[in-house]
Structure 1
Amino acid sequence: MIALADGVVTEPVRRRMRRCYWLVAASALVEGACFAVLVPLLHTLIGDRFPQAWWWVAALSVLLVLTVATSRAASARQRAVTSEIVASLQHRLAEHVVTLPLGWFSPDRAAALTRLAGEATRMLAATLNGVVAVNIRAAALAGAVWVVLVVVDPVTGAVAAGGLGILVVLYFWAARLLRGATSAGNTTTEQINAELVEFAQLQSVLRAYGRTAQADSEITTALDRVRTASAAYFRGAVTGSVVFQAGTALFLSSVLLTALHRADSAAVSAVVATIVIVLAALLVDSMAALGRTGSVIWAAERTLAEIGEIVATPPLPEPTTDTAVPADSSITFGDITFGYDADRTLLDGISFEVPQGSVCAIVGPSGSGKTTLARLVARFWDVDSGSITLGGKDIREIGSVELMGAVSMVFQDVYLFDASIRENVLIAHPDATDDELAAAAAQARVDEIIARLPDGWNTIVGEGGAALSGGERQRISLARALLKNAPVVLLDEATSALDVENEAAIRAATAALTTGRTVLVIAHRLETVRAADRIVFLEHGRIAETGTHDELLAAEGRYADFWREQERAQSWKIGARA
């Protein structure tokens, strides 16, 4: 387990873990020495040599005191190291994830990260420094007892060694069996959890269209998969446990029969045979402890592997030399190619320029790569080939802190922290004055939201901003961008699903945000498209057309078709059938 923790737990903590485990092993060895002293003590007592027995009693007393002292010291060290492991794992995860590309943070990965940084980390720490310590103690004690057994009766010790070897093989076989079942069960559980969340979120749609029966059938099928995976897990667990317990019983039987045979044939005395039987029982008890805790350790290995996968994810490359400084806020796409995987190219051969202080609208059908193109400017991912420059400098040569300082992002999927409105806006500029905060709030019309809320600026918005409407969340997002006052704005404009009041407020805030800045906007509204200095029409990941609004309309190409479709859509009305 310490080897598995390499790269996940820091080296100082691993050293303390090793010292803790050595202390646990030492405590077990001292306990084993107590059993070694019992052998001559029993011989002297049964042989009526009581004066000599007092020496062995004294030695046993000293060893018992040492056992208690080392055991208490090991327990105290375990508690301290457990806390260190939790802190180390959480800090290791936190330090690494802040270096990862923003595109890494998908909903599934964010959920897994939350789970691993929370309860899973605490359980893992308890396993690393609790259950593992129990196993180390059991193994050390078994080794010490076996050595005593070999000294007392080498023949029985040899039989015990063969039995121990078989038990070790059975242990690892059971571990392999249960690991496979655990992995399959975890995968199935994650799938059913995702499907249950989707099932709950889509209730309104499912009921509106009368598809609850089909959804129930899909959930039932998913639950059947979970039951099948659970049955496989328990079959593996039961099979491994039964086989290991059977091996333990055979081990004990073989040692007992050997001891009895040795006593019956007068090869050893009755006293030695009795001691051998006691030592064999101790060996069995130690090995049984390994079997009882094995499943917990195997589950912890899975958690460690998940944390290891995150830690092993390559961070966003940073400049190895001095950070490049952009000359201005112009953006240039130079023959870029990008795909989320090697088998599919999403953007292919994209080249255009957005001069400083101009507005470039990205237009095109869904799935054409508009949002991806905008997020590449913020280095959510790095392009596969080509380059994106800011102020004449490749963004890969600009430090991530400097790049993020130059860019404001306002996307459709607005996320707010479970904090107050004030804290959510100030995250863009923590040192902003009250006047600057009030000005940004007024431009984004967040002041209207604050005025009608009882707690005003101190209103807690809930996780993700759940206490506010979609339009209100977008206003706060725009206020953040205004307060940041970055020279480049990446804007995914979306007002079609908002009420009239919020749409008007967001249009006003957007106008204030884009004034005098270099803007790359994923345009949805006709007004934005018409007013843009340049329009880039994407289709199937390529630039189909580029130019001003009037130029593209005159060309009678894809953009003109798109424009006419939007005009027709705006004229649609709901009325009675003639």
Structure 2
Amino acid sequence: MIQIPEGVAGAATAARLRRCYGLIVGSALLEGLCFAVLVPLLSALIEQRFPAAWWWAATLAVLLVVAVGANRTASARQRAVSGETVADLQHRLAAHAVRLPLGWFSPASADALTRLTGDAARMLAAALNGVVAVNIRAATWAVVVLLTLLVLDPTTGLVAAAGLAVLVVLHFVAARLLRGATATGNTVTERINGELVEFAQHQAVLRSCGQTARANTEVLDALRRARAASAAYFRGAIIGAVAFQLGTALLVAAVLLTVLVRTDGSGLGVPSAVCATVLAAMLTDSVAALGRTGSVIWAAERTLAEVAAIIATPALAEPDVAPVPTDSSIALRGVAFGYESGRRVLEDISFDVPQGSICAIVGPSGSGKTTLARLVARFWEVESGSITLGGTDIRELRAADLLSRISMVFQDVYLFDATIRENVLLAKPDATPGQLAEAAALARVDEIVARLPQGWDTPVGEVGSALSGGERQRISLARALLKDAPVVLLDEATSALDTENETAIRAATATLTEGRTVLVIAHRLDTVRAADRIVFVEDGRVAETGTHTELLALDGRYASFWNEQNRAQRWQIRAGAGT
């Protein structure tokens, strides 16, 4: 039986599964009764009591017809319910995923969602549709056969019951060993896959540093760990299988020996001895069916555990009635936040961004600048304090309402594997051709479109891999311009671009921020000299705040950063002696 974790399936789905399992048990009981009727039928045939034999044969025929009908009904219902169950799990997973904090989503979580709604879901459907029925039928048959043996000859039945108990213990011990080996193997496999991907992706760096030999050694070590994990798994599988088969053989031998002793001692007649032997064979066959389906059940349970883990992730609260922000001002009060690692990233952050003003967040790397901007978009929930938009706590807004008021242009631009047109229109699918053309011109995406043979219909590739970094940034800006939201969160990302792209992006950024409330993460301080407010963040706290002139006069951390950047801009490479 597959155990579905609490909270994964809805009440209606759980009720459907229980009814379906009940139908399978009922049909299996009818099939088990057919086995039981074989006992008096065989006895009558061996003893040549033909009138009785005909009566039992007729009874068996009626039971067979009813059992076949019940089996077909249960199988049809089982197929329907398994499909409904998997669909329900997928819908619940999707419904919960869209309510999760945006910060939860990562390449790893996206891969998990893809697997759980794809191959893993199909495997779960196959398990619910086939393995569960096999297990229920096998367990039901084993109970009916064992009861029949106990009625036929209590002594033989008790020996069979003892053997069956030993087999059950062996099954659970083998299952525990295999589950542990499977979990270890899966962990090792995932780690190795990551190392192999890293090895492939970082070939240029490894070769330029002359570290290919060390990298090859690390890959070989990873492969050796994989072989060791596989060997451990197969050792467990072989030991479990051999122990189970040995137990099955001992069960049959014990029953046959008991039958022989009982027959020789005149305690059991020949017809009953033959029937007991047939029933013992049926019993071991039923138990063997349980042992053959273990790996499929464990895989299905692992899938369900992954679904349960995602569903257990706290979702963003969605109010039934959401207030409307009065304006586009932003205010942070005592904001604190830390990731799952437990390390606090931000502590007691407080400042205001009045409507229509530009606030720059500056500071050293790792100080929490990007986290701060993403908290404003409610990628995560703050641990303490509050963030308000237009005087309304963003936790009181629906996620869709909040995001409709915010345009985001971050350094790590993500483009869908679609055309340039589709990526820009993502911000406003119902935009007119004129609006699309205007946004493209402002972000100078029209220049990109003009030089590509397929123009607007050019595929950008996976995550935009067919375009350069500057081109991806221009498309991201065009998307933000087309959205035309009153609040702009901008992670300035021009420091690593060529002059042409930097000029285009700066011009588009100036248009994007005009008349809007802007929170910009500044990496180059000369780009935010004109900001209405500059907040210097260090070690997760606000160290200084003010205008560019005020902070220079303060001669603190901002002034120190400003002077360091100015000195860095004057660095030159000069020819040395002998060069």
TM above 0.5: yes
Offset of 1:85 from its aligned partner? 2.8
Residues 265-308 of structure 1 show CA distances to partners (whole Å, capped at 9, x for unaligned) of 11111111011011001100110111111122122212211110
Contact 1:363-1:535 at 8 Å conserved across structures: yes
Please identify, of 206-215 and 69-78, the stretch whose mean Cα deviation from structure 2 is larger.
Answer: 69-78
Counterpart residue type for residue 78 of structure 1: Q
Partners of 1:15 and 1:452 lie apart in 2 by: 60
1:262 alignment partner in structure 2? 262
User: Within 5 Å, which residues of 2 pair with 1:227-246?
Assistant: 227-246=227-246
Contact 2:3-2:301 at 8 Å conserved across structures: no
- SS of residue matched to 2:510: helix
1:428 alignment partner in structure 2? 427
2:460 alignment partner in structure 1? 461
- SS of residue matched to 2:378: coil
2:503 alignment partner in structure 1? 504
Partners of 2:113 and 2:192 lie apart in 1 by: 18
Please identify, of 197-206 and 47-56, the stretch whose mean Cα deviation from structure 2 is larger.
Answer: 47-56
Counterpart residue type for residue 317 of structure 2: P
Q: Does 1:370 align with 2:369?
A: yes
Counterpart residue type for residue 146 of structure 1: L
Partners of 1:453 and 1:441 lie apart in 2 by: 14
- SS of residue matched to 1:334: strand
- SS of residue matched to 2:459: coil
TM-score by length of 1: 0.96
Offset of 1:485 from its aligned partner? 0.9
User: Within 5 Å, which residues of 2 pair with 1:214-293?
Assistant: 214-293=214-293
Q: State the superposition RMSD in angstroms.
A: 1.8
Offset of 1:82 from its aligned partner? 3.0
Counterpart residue type for residue 206 of structure 2: L
Please identify, of 384-393 and 521-530, the stretch whose mean Cα deviation from structure 2 is larger.
Answer: 521-530
- SS of residue matched to 1:224: helix
Offset of 1:13 from its aligned partner? 3.0
Partners of 1:240 and 1:124 lie apart in 2 by: 24
- What is the percentage of aligned positions where both structures have the same residue? 69
- SS of residue matched to 1:537: strand
- SS of residue matched to 2:463: helix
Partners of 1:350 and 1:16 lie apart in 2 by: 51
1:541 alignment partner in structure 2? 540
2:412 alignment partner in structure 1? 413
User: Within 5 Å, which residues of 2 pair with 1:308-323?
Assistant: 308-319=308-319, 322-323=321-322
2:86 alignment partner in structure 1? 86
Partners of 1:482 and 1:193 lie apart in 2 by: 40
Offset of 1:499 from its aligned partner? 2.2
Offset of 1:357 from its aligned partner? 0.7
Offset of 1:80 from its aligned partner? 2.5
- SS of residue matched to 1:409: strand
Contact 1:369-1:538 at 8 Å conserved across structures: yes
2:129 alignment partner in structure 1? 129
Offset of 1:176 from its aligned partner? 1.8
Contact 1:492-1:521 at 8 Å conserved across structures: yes
User: Within 5 Å, which residues of 2 pair with 1:26-175?
Assistant: 26-175=26-175
Contact 2:2-2:300 at 8 Å conserved across structures: no
Contact 1:388-1:395 at 8 Å conserved across structures: yes
Please identify, of 389-398 and 81-90, the stretch whose mean Cα deviation from structure 2 is larger.
Answer: 81-90
Residues 320-358 of structure 1 show CA distances to partners (whole Å, capped at 9, x for unaligned) of x63122111111111211111474221112111111111
Partners of 2:169 and 2:93 lie apart in 1 by: 35
- SS of residue matched to 1:190: helix
2:483 alignment partner in structure 1? 484
2:515 alignment partner in structure 1? 516
Contact 1:361-1:528 at 8 Å conserved across structures: no
Partners of 2:108 and 2:100 lie apart in 1 by: 15
Contact 1:181-1:233 at 8 Å conserved across structures: yes
Partners of 1:226 and 1:48 lie apart in 2 by: 63
- SS of residue matched to 2:388: strand
Partners of 2:365 and 2:199 lie apart in 1 by: 25
Partners of 1:341 and 1:22 lie apart in 2 by: 43
Partners of 1:228 and 1:360 lie apart in 2 by: 56
1:402 alignment partner in structure 2? 401
2:387 alignment partner in structure 1? 388
Partners of 2:328 and 2:171 lie apart in 1 by: 63
User: Which structure 1 residue ranges, 5 or more long, are not aligned?
Assistant: none
Contact 1:324-1:399 at 8 Å conserved across structures: no
Offset of 1:52 from its aligned partner? 3.0
Partners of 1:266 and 1:460 lie apart in 2 by: 86
Partners of 1:522 and 1:394 lie apart in 2 by: 22
Partners of 1:2 and 1:172 lie apart in 2 by: 15
Offset of 1:3 from its aligned partner? 4.2
Offset of 1:183 from its aligned partner? 1.8
Partners of 2:518 and 2:264 lie apart in 1 by: 95
Partners of 1:412 and 1:114 lie apart in 2 by: 25
Residues 237-266 of structure 1 show CA distances to partners (whole Å, capped at 9, x for unaligned) of 222222222222222211111111111111
Counterpart residue type for residue 169 of structure 1: V
User: Within 5 Å, which residues of 2 pair with 1:1-12?
Assistant: 1=1, 3-12=3-12
- SS of residue matched to 1:336: strand
Partners of 2:157 and 2:230 lie apart in 1 by: 41
- SS of residue matched to 1:346: strand
Offset of 1:210 from its aligned partner? 0.9
Q: Does 1:201 align with 2:201?
A: yes
Partners of 1:9 and 1:377 lie apart in 2 by: 34
2:345 alignment partner in structure 1? 346
- SS of residue matched to 1:460: coil
- SS of residue matched to 1:531: coil
Partners of 1:418 and 1:341 lie apart in 2 by: 31
TM-score by length of 2: 0.95
Partners of 1:226 and 1:217 lie apart in 2 by: 14
Please identify, of 366-375 and 164-173, the stretch whose mean Cα deviation from structure 2 is larger.
Answer: 164-173
1:572 alignment partner in structure 2? 571
Counterpart residue type for residue 336 of structure 1: V
Partners of 2:125 and 2:7 lie apart in 1 by: 15
Contact 1:182-1:299 at 8 Å conserved across structures: no
- SS of residue matched to 2:356: coil
Counterpart residue type for residue 499 of structure 2: V
